[in-house]
Structure 1
Amino acid sequence: MIRYLHRRLFYILLSYLFFLSDVVIGQVLDYSTKVKIEGEKRITEKSLLIQINRKEENWLSNVTIYYSADQKFDLVEAYIIDSNGKTVRQLKKKEITTRSDISSGSFYEDDFIKEFTLQWNTYPYRIKYTYHVTEKDFVYVTRWYPTFFTGVATLKSSLTVELPATYKTSMDYTDDLEYNIQKKDKNQILRWEKKTSKTVKSEVFSPPLLELLSHVHIVPVEFNYGVPGNSESWASYGKWHYALNSGADLLSLSEKMKVNDLIAGVTDKKEIVRILYHYLQDNTTYINVAIDVGGLKPYPASYVCQNKYGDCKALTIYMKALLKHAGISSFYTVINSGSNIKRVNKNLPGQQFNHVILSVPIDGDTLWLENTSNSSPYDYLGTFTQGRYALLVDKDHSRLITTPKLELNDVLEKRTYTFALNEAGSGTVNIDKNLKGGAFESYCYYKRELNEKEQKRKIMQDLDVKKCEIEEWEIKHTDRDRKDLNVLLKARCFDQFRKVGKMNVIQPVPMKIPSFEKPSARKNPVRISFPINRSDSIIYELSGLERYTTELPDNSYIATEYGKYEERYVQNETGVIVVRRFQLYAADYSRASYNDFFSFIKSINTIRKQSAIILTYNK
């Protein structure tokens, strides 16, 4: 009777949720994943039961499944269930489309997408689909997250992993999951379950969302991907990478002759690296094939010699081959790319990376080469790969390393605005932006890859002076290997004063300060992956200043463990100068410390609201 009542209450509750279509948003009712290692194969089954309560949630009925060419894909079932629990539509084979997963910057990719739609016209309804993916080449057993959609609640999720009893693995999982292990014949069955997985959403400067989710990561100690491999340590895993790449760094005869011509008479090794890096940048094109799904084995250097394009793996092997022919050693280095640093689990050696760069040790120094960018300076990592763990592949001596961090001076953005205004608040403004860090990287890309019309559009989007018309502009990068550039603008401006009776009020050009959520709304910790360092000088040359009494805001200075902010005002014979400096330090800040962090940002905003310059006309 008790078991019956529990079951009955469960179905009552489920039915209650099912019919509250005006209250409950769409939900993943059940998300099941089963992984089985069978001989040399990994078979993964995923099954989802999703509830859609109203028209606005029909996007949940559009199903997209990613897989690669070396995986066998089978759709087991796909159908719609109405509110009475009746199956009202089965998906037909002809309703499934398959296409190549071509992304921006790609010529071809061997990853594919299966797409279909399971949509009904009465609400609520449910969709159910199950599919298998089978593959022979793999370097992890599973990387599982119980949350299927980050913005949609998952009411129940489970992972079942069936392994031979002798199959050795390393694993990491969060302790909020229910876990048990059983034996079945000669196999062991591992199971994790979670009820009501939380939804997560991106917030300003939050860590990557996957870091905030519950997870199970399982890696085989012994595996075979191209060549046999071992993940007992980072050294053994790197040795596998080394073996996988073996023989790939060979150039064609014509390419060797070209290298000989390029470096003839040059003896300085760093200069040789610079020459060959420029050659790579000027003669190859990057195409995007993600490491995680596009394969881990690079195309050989000879492929790039012939085709003049490649993904990060191929271009890095090609650059390595150019240096090898010049007698310079270098190391294939796998890393996570992106301005928001994704943490590496040091205790779980294996595939945790999505990008490749090249490290070149010379005379006690290390040069770093980003081989996918045609606009990056030589020996520059930038916001994309700075300050994080990477695996340097050096056969038996492979190891985790840390790439150099961007320091405050490396990201300094200096903006100077010089206004010449008449008493009506109109005139001219000259703007000189000296940029480093992320802003520098963006404008390097604009200058090299965009036409003049598109460049101007980007400059207009970045313009922070209201009511002005650009007359001249220039992106000035005097040397391709400089790690800063200047954006120069000349513009006519209007109505820079706000008239209040006899007063002219000037609101100085606002400094760019990140806007953060209030503590009551913030859910995630803060990650500042690299520092922010900005310095603005605003010079107002004002006609007829002698006829006005000038009232300036107070100078301000804030220094905290999170950063600094300074604001100073100076009057001279011809006008007013405003100087602002803002620094935000790179660090991870916990949710518990967010109130103090936000107070720092709030104090800055309070000062900025009181920054008006008042000119009062004297009779």
Structure 2
Amino acid sequence: MAALPLSSFLLLRPAGPAPKYAVTDIPASLREGAHAVLRADDEVVTVKSAGRLVHTVHRAITVLEPAGDDFGRHAVSYDALNTLSYLRGAVYDGSGRLLHQLRPAEIHDRGMGDAGGSFMTDVRVRYADLRQPQTPYTVEFDYEIVSDNTLFYPDWQPQEAEGLAVQAATLRVTTPAALPLRYQERQLPPGSVVARTTLGSQETYQWQLTDLPAVDEEEAAPPLADITPAVALAPGAFEVQGHKGSCATWQSFGQWNYDLNAGRDQLPPATAAKVAALVKDAPDARTKARRVYDLLQGSTRYISVQLGLGGWQTFPASAVAGSGYGDCKALSNYTKALLAAAGVPAYVALVGAGGDQADLRADFPSSQFNHAILCVPLATGSRPDTLWLECTSQTQAFGYLGSFTGNRHALLLTPQGGQLVATPSYGSTENRRERRIDLFLDAAGGATATARTLRTGQEQDLYAQLLHDLSPTEQKKYVVDRLQLPTFTLTKLNLAATAAGPLPGVVETLGLALPGFAVPSGKRVFITPNLLSRLPALPAQVGERQAALWLPRASLHADTVRLHLPAGFRAETLPSAVQLSTAYGTYASHYATLPDGTVQYIRRLELKRGRMPRTAYAAYLDFRRKISIADKAQVVLLKTES
């Protein structure tokens, strides 16, 4: 038999995988301004029953430059109710050739509570890192989650980060016709419509997105989640560990939560007797509530509990009474029980907490919550009053919610079901910063200053954390790092809690040494009195504004600065008064020479809260520019003696 030529063996050798995800296949319009491009995001949600769904994901991202390297790794969480079936991955070079298949040994697994802290959780994370030393490259991940917690359907928002373009993404949901899908489309491109089909007893819904350019986060814009296309999903009927419920209305969802925790608010007799003795001479319900809150803060601590149904079902109040700890649900339920023993009714309320957390979407009943607080309806004379309590903090002021849970909706859990209500609204009247500075100049150009600043409402939230959580040394470092002064020494710092009517406040007292602050130029000295409260201008808009104008917090800043002049100096020129009144807020500043020769500068800035169309940004930019100019205005002093 004649030997086959070498060329025949070459033809018979198996070929390697065909290239895919080549960078040249990405349209130039998607590469422009992008750190990475989502080549494919194919997600399939299969609802098996009221108590089970399967979520499969295939995701490929081309990383174009080092700024997009975070997309080169992926993490998937799972727990007792959500099983991770598999996690696979691969990485390709810029030409689309396979570089590496993810090996099981390269997949890391850790518990969310492994780092310590106040956690009781069965949540774990499996993650893989396929980042490469050189760009471009493409990572591909596939995984599947089988969930026995149908309270949460996965949401779909492929364009999840700044600098990420989307080439193609699809979402397909299949569900029994007896369990119709509830969904809400958000920010979808014009013309995008859901494709809905029925086959036998199954209904399928499908969405598709293509060719979305990268988005830059603009100044004073809403969070990215409120800007890019998304589809939110939610069940009608659901079941978690045998507990059936409905998300069709806020009332039904609240009823499920209430029934799940019914009967868990019973106190040990000794605790109930202790409360009765504590409030026996209290003149009204508010005083009773305050005493109960003091008892709570002095005898409990917070831990996070995320163990299966424990994410929604509370520890019994008797358990908290015995152990002294609990999560937000348990501590709120315990406080509710303490108040009941004092004769004061209250309701646990679910809320989406966080300083940057957007308000829930009231028109889409679903589980949009991550925290529980307590609502205490009161009556003050003939008018209703409502007291809100944060039950997880040992330092929070009585009746104050602040940035964490204020200015948003919450869901009251009542025997009649859920009731959507508003938490306290904190506006410019509550969120105040009042500052008085005395600036003492010397003839050589140096200065010393004392500054007393009262912050109330949301303006004090951060400083209350500094006061309670940091040592004096750490407080000083924080303040020094943020003082926008060229040369200074912090000679004094004191933070102290205070009460400003019904609101908490923090008083900050500073002492400053300012060498070379106002060096004379000939016979004149030029001084900018606004030492600590300058509001910077915003950068000019590049290109056409895309996002709405979003002003998340209302505030009122009032400043008084007194310049104490050295002997032989007088004010020669004072800046003109400035008065601005706009839809975004008001600003006023004026200068005066007092009878003793002291120069006084008074500034008042009130900023409003709200969301306005993108066309409003240009005028807001101008408002900020004028404030910045006024804040830099200079007083001219003249030396009158040689």
TM-score (norm 2): 0.87
Q: Distance in 2 between matches of 1:245 and 1:514?
A: 50
- Alignment of 1:27 onto 2:37: yes
Which of 480, 492, 495 is residue 460 of structure 1 equivalent to?
480
Q: Distance in 2 between matches of 1:544 and 1:290?
A: 68
Q: Distance in 1 between matches of 2:244 and 2:72?
A: 41
Aligned to 2:182: 170
Which shifted more, 340-349 or 13-22?
13-22
Structure 1 residues 92-491: aligned runs within 5 Å? 92-102=103-113, 106-120=118-132, 124-174=136-186, 175-176=188-189, 177-225=192-240, 227-288=243-304, 295-340=311-356, 342-363=358-379, 364-396=384-416, 398-464=418-484, 466-478=486-498, 483-491=504-512
How many residues of Structure 1 are paired with residues of Structure 2 in the alignment? 608
Contact residue 76 and residue 132 of structure 1 kept, 8 A:
yes
Which of 621, 628, 631 is residue 598 of structure 1 equivalent to?
621
Deviation at 1:524, TM superposition (A): 2.3
Contact residue 61 and residue 127 of structure 1 kept, 8 A:
yes
Deviation at 1:426, TM superposition (A): 2.5
Contact residue 110 and residue 294 of structure 1 kept, 8 A:
no
Contact residue 22 and residue 94 of structure 2 kept, 8 A:
no
Aligned to 1:530: 553
Deviation at 1:599, TM superposition (A): 1.6
- Alignment of 1:501 onto 2:522: yes
Amino acid at match of 2:60: L
Q: Distance in 1 between matches of 2:492 and 2:310?
A: 45
Aligned to 2:15: none
Deviation at 1:386, TM superposition (A): 2.1
Deviation at 1:318, TM superposition (A): 1.8
Contact residue 537 and residue 578 of structure 1 kept, 8 A:
yes
Aligned to 1:8: none
Q: 1:482 to 1:82 in 2, by over 3 A?
A: closer
Deviation at 1:14, TM superposition (A): 6.2
Which of 566, 590, 595 is residue 568 of structure 1 equivalent to?
590
Determine helix, strand or coil for the equivalent of 2:611.
strand
- Let me know the Cα RMSD of the aligned residues: 3.0
Contact residue 332 and residue 374 of structure 2 kept, 8 A:
yes
Which shifted more, 122-131 or 64-73?
122-131
- Alignment of 1:38 onto 2:48: yes
Amino acid at match of 2:513: R
Provide Cα deviations, 1:522-545, integer angstroms capped at 9, x if missing partner: 542222233121011111111114
Deviation at 1:487, TM superposition (A): 1.1
Q: What stretches of structure 1 of length at least 5 have no aligned partner?
A: 1-10
Determine helix, strand or coil for the equivalent of 2:625.
helix
Which shifted more, 335-344 or 241-250?
335-344
Contact residue 543 and residue 574 of structure 1 kept, 8 A:
no
Q: Distance in 1 between matches of 2:504 and 2:21?
A: 64
Determine helix, strand or coil for the equivalent of 2:354.
coil
Amino acid at match of 2:240: Y
Amino acid at match of 1:589: M
Structure 1 residues 52-71: aligned runs within 5 Å? 52-53=63-64, 57-71=68-82
Which shifted more, 249-258 or 348-357?
249-258
Determine helix, strand or coil for the equivalent of 1:448.
helix
Deviation at 1:72, TM superposition (A): 0.4
Provide Cα deviations, 1:57-95, integer angstroms capped at 9, x if missing partner: 443322222233321002253223345544442222121
Deviation at 1:333, TM superposition (A): 1.1
Q: 1:370 to 1:23 in 2, by over 3 A?
A: closer
Q: What stretches of structure 2 of length at least 5 have no aligned partner?
A: 1-19
Q: Distance in 1 between matches of 2:137 and 2:490?
A: 55
Provide Cα deviations, 1:262-298, integer angstroms capped at 9, x if missing partner: 3343342211111111222223223346899983333
Q: Distance in 1 between matches of 2:262 and 2:212?
A: 44
Provide Cα deviations, 1:512-568, integer angstroms capped at 9, x if missing partner: 4265342336542222233121011111111114x4452111111111121111111
Provide Cα deviations, 1:426-465, integer angstroms capped at 9, x if missing partner: 3432111011123312222222222221222233345455
Deviation at 1:38, TM superposition (A): 0.9
Deviation at 1:98, TM superposition (A): 0.9
Which shifted more, 197-206 or 531-540?
197-206
Percent of pairs identical after alignment?
Answer: 25
Q: Distance in 2 between matches of 1:310 and 1:495?
A: 55
Amino acid at match of 1:419: L
Q: 1:272 to 1:470 in 2, by over 3 A?
A: same
Contact residue 92 and residue 137 of structure 2 kept, 8 A:
yes
Amino acid at match of 1:27: V
Determine helix, strand or coil for the equivalent of 1:142.
coil
Aligned to 1:550: 572
Q: 1:229 to 1:415 in 2, by over 3 A?
A: same
Deviation at 1:580, TM superposition (A): 0.6
Q: Distance in 1 between matches of 2:623 and 2:135?
A: 48
Q: Distance in 2 between matches of 1:77 and 1:530?
A: 44
Q: Distance in 1 between matches of 2:319 and 2:310?
A: 17
Contact residue 537 and residue 627 of structure 2 kept, 8 A:
no
Q: Distance in 2 between matches of 1:123 and 1:305?
A: 57
Deviation at 1:121, TM superposition (A): 5.8
Contact residue 301 and residue 325 of structure 2 kept, 8 A:
yes
Which shifted more, 176-185 or 560-569?
176-185
Q: 1:47 to 1:13 in 2, by over 3 A?
A: closer
